[in-house]
Chains A and B, each alone.
Chain A
Amino acid sequence: MQRIQHDGTDPSHELDESSPFAPQTPQEVDAMLSAIGADSVEELFDVPEAVAFDGDFDIEAKSEYEVVSEIEELLGQNADRTEFLGRGHYDHYVPSVVDYLSLRSEFLTSYTQYQPETSQGFLQALFEFQSMIVELTGLDVANCSMYDAATALGEAALLAARVRETDGSRVLVPETIRSERRSVLENYADGAELTVETYPLTDGNTDTDALAEVIDEDVVMVYAESPTARGAIEERLSAVATLADDHEAAFCLGSDPVALALLKEPAAVGADIVIGDASVLGLSASHGMGLGLFAVKDGYLRQVPGRLVGTSETAEGRRAYTLTLQTREQHIRKERATSNICTNQAWVALRTAIHIATLGASGLAALAEDCVATASEAAARLDAVEGVTAPVDDRHHFREFVARTERPAAEVASELADRGFLVHEVGEFEIQICVTETNSNEVDGLVAAAQEVLE
């Protein structure tokens, strides 16, 4: 290890190794101890012997080069495969400008803007992010982030229960929801004594007759997705909204910023809350790390979880930005806060905003239109393969679709993986395929592999 050499005989600093990120020299340590009036650093620790740790961690220090090399080698064990994977986590191309700007240390190494006067830059960036989400959803208020789509959905259910004037205990979700997302929702719901139940879909869209049968006055929130986890664009959102409204339940829609750039605004179809993963712009594939999008209509403003940036004025009357409505939050309201969230995903929101700004309205709309076209084209090409029917759901699709295979899906997915392509196995005879601009030039290969596997 490079670094400051600590003399083993120096009683003031007896460590064999020191942190490369702690700048104190032995001479400075001595001077500091002397100013404090202590003889050694050890003396500053007020830890009873009975609970002190006098062992060594089984963790060996390494040079920067060694660490980087080791991690490169480890990650190299992720097999080289082309992913046609989606279902809530998508890989869109992130322009270089997003990295270079977001990695500026002024952004990256700051924290929550408790002192707004010296944090105007990040506050404005988050304010602009909120504004972009407001435009995309048509709703009145967007917060500056939740952790991911699943936790945002959990928070939505808690909000829906709080705003209801009468008691209620049921939350309805589509049967096609990712089981992981549902599991997170159930954990959030549990503490508020809410139960989560599903309603059926028919041919890829909500079965509104069936929903009408299961909904009642005990329902606090109805959740729908468009696109659905199976990639279908939901065509019955207005009917779902009406059913929810008739029973005084909130209507929560799950979507994402790319889909929202093309599909009817949630506000126009009657959504009260929109949740989703906003990091589909801003982050490429990142093993499920996300950015929880959370937008609501005006009437829910004071029940919103998480941080909100608003404008105010400086003493000299100039526009300025600040965190606002903080009395909703845990550091002030404690157990009566709207949520426990403190650290959020602000930096990802910054990246998403830069990505949206870089695309502009036309670039974003074009990207969204491509998501419809590429899914449709890929489905048609797979449908032409003998032993495959695609798409299974007779609907319009966005980015992804489900295909029926004559052979068991597990075998098909495994044999496609052997040939270099990863697809989802979603049913006994169903696979799911997601196409974006980052893998669309590999569709030829996927189709050829599917022919080998299925024909």
Chain B
Amino acid sequence: MNYQQATWTRETDSGEPVNEPLLSEKRTQTVTYDDVDLPEELVRDELTLPEPAEPEVASHYTRLSQMNYSVEHGPYPLGSCTMKYNPKFIEDVAALEDGAIHPDRPDEYAQGTLGILHGLQEYLAEIGGMETATLQPPAGAAGEFTGLLVARAYHRSNDEDDERREVIVPASAHGTNFASAAMAGYDVVELPSDEDGRVPVDALEEAVGDSTAALMLTNPNTLGLFERDIADIADIVHDAGGLLYYDGANLNALLGRARPGDMGFDIMHYNVHKTFASPHGGGGPGAGPIGVVDELTEFLPDPHVRETEDGSFQFYEPAESIGKVHGFYGNWLVLLKTYAYISRLGDGGLKDTSAMAVLNANYLASQIDLDIPYGPFHHEFVASAGDVDAAEFAKGMLDEGVHPPTTKWPEIVDEALMTEPTEALSKDQIDVLAAAFTATNQKTSDELADAPTKTAAARIDQTSAARNPRLSWQDVEGTDE
């Protein structure tokens, strides 16, 4: 494919060519405060910020947007990120004026919002096979943290918190699992994968015991493999007195095929910005609701929503609530979009989503000439770039007009290219993506070293950025002098 990302380049005053200049390199204004009704010592001396007129703002950000690859440009197959199409109508729903309310409204004046929150609690519980779900965690990692706080509250209620100090995490798990466990005050026990790429049941039996608080598991795992021994795994963890936590990053593979609750999981998080199509927004916001089984509902964050006998909705504090994990009620606009998306798809659409996601991944794999050491995979697979550095391979793919996969992870595959096309790519787009893999695979090491050449910026030196951090335009100006 012939591709060239839009770029505007011009010289700054110092003669250095830059793409779109910083706002601070255009017009700025310094204001002072002379007639404010406050004591002088409480007021700043001055404030200096860019002062563009609205047409200049529009031009600046439009140009920036065109120097940014997105899902709507084409394939964006980041593994475990589920970069699927974000329907337009959910944005209109989020913009409805009646939804723009303050969080401190008394329940009786917020029945519409509470009704939607309650509806989403029920949708998610149904989809996950859980008793109910809290919507408060504002991201997947926040969901993990919340889930572990719930686990800890449960063990505390059994007077076992002092001894249950370990959370077991498979080596191939997302980095957030390890970090969330540490933030919740747990020691992390890492479990290596077996030769098939799954959790080794024998090693798990060795690892669990009186000190086990929970096992965190992604299913299908980051290799796209279903943990076939999940029923045994659940028994082993439960027999040891631990809880089973489901990382929902890969739920898009299983909608309507298998539910974490039915597999024996006690706690799960949903990444609604992955599975349920709320846009990723350049890094967020997402939302990471967690579902729990009946035995754990009393520990959920405060507040939860329930329906009363007269059909109205109310916030209430669960009996043994862990308290709060967000200052208010989480990322409301994201939750509203999620509700709209699930309502649109319904049972059939949700099941079709996972069917087409798994079909697309398998079809893509059949069309590329790279080793894929582990299978059968579902919605994603991990290919190996072989003798080529996966990060270099990714730079080569950028010139083919697609976004590359997640690279160098999981580590169990050499030079990993973790690839998740999602259900939203057409066969034609998958053929384009496959051609990008093939074209890249044929590039010489010199060609890869020079890549990318068709993006707004050529290869960026990330090492020097870290060695000499310049994190604001104030630093840039300082460096130039």
Contact = CB atoms under 8 A, between A and B. Distances in A.
Given A287-B113, A331-B175, A121 B63 contact: yes
Contacts of A324: 462, 465-466, 469, 471
Interface stretch (B70-78, B382-390, B436-444): B70-78
Nearest to B429: A23
Nearest to A146: B138
Nearest to A432: B104
Nearest to B20: A124
Contacts, number: 662
A150 B64 contact: no
Contacts of A60: 346-347
A437 interface: no
Contact of A44 (B9, B174, B184, B376): B376
Contact of A288 (B96, B282, B332): B332
A124 to B, nearest CB: 6
Contacts of B157: none
Contacts of B291: none
B109 to A, nearest CB: 4
B188 to A, nearest CB: 5
A130 B472 CA distance: 6
Nearest to B86: A109
A346 B71 contact: no
A17 to B, nearest CB: 3
Interface in A138-185: 141-142, 144-145, 147-151, 158, 178, 180-181, 183-184
Given A24-B426, A59-B346, A118-B452, A113 B283 contact: yes
Contacts of A145: 283-284
B474 A135 contact: yes
Contacts of A264: 41-44
Interface in B33-58: 33, 36-39, 41-44, 47-52, 54, 57-58
A442 interface: no
Contact of A346 (B282, B329, B365, B424): B282
Contact of A71 (B47, B331, B339, B409): B339
A340 B179 contact: yes
A29 B359 contact: yes
Given A75-B96, A120-B456, A128 B359 contact: no
Interface in B10-44: 16-20, 22-24, 28-31, 33, 36-39, 41-44
Nearest to A94: B100
B44 A334 contact: no
B327 A335 contact: no
Contact of B36 (A81, A314, A322, A372): A372
Nearest to A363: B51
A23 to B, nearest CB: 4
Contacts of A263: 42-44
A333 to B, nearest CB: 8
Given A79-B111, A233-B42, A309-B471, A178 B327 contact: yes
A362 B42 contact: no
Given A110-B70, A308-B469, 10 more contacts: A37-B366, A51-B262, A57-B350, A67-B89, A75-B112, A113-B282, A134-B472, A312-B465, A350-B281, A396-B37
18 contacts: A21-B85, A45-B378, A48-B226, A52-B258, A60-B347, A78-B105, A106-B70, A120-B64, A147-B285, A151-B327, A158-B183, A190-B184, A235-B42, A263-B43, A287-B332, A331-B175, A361-B28, A369-B36
Q: Which 10 A-B pairs have the closest CB atoms?
A: A288-B328, A61-B346, A17-B348, A347-B281, A150-B327, A346-B283, A191-B185, A121-B68, A288-B103, A312-B465
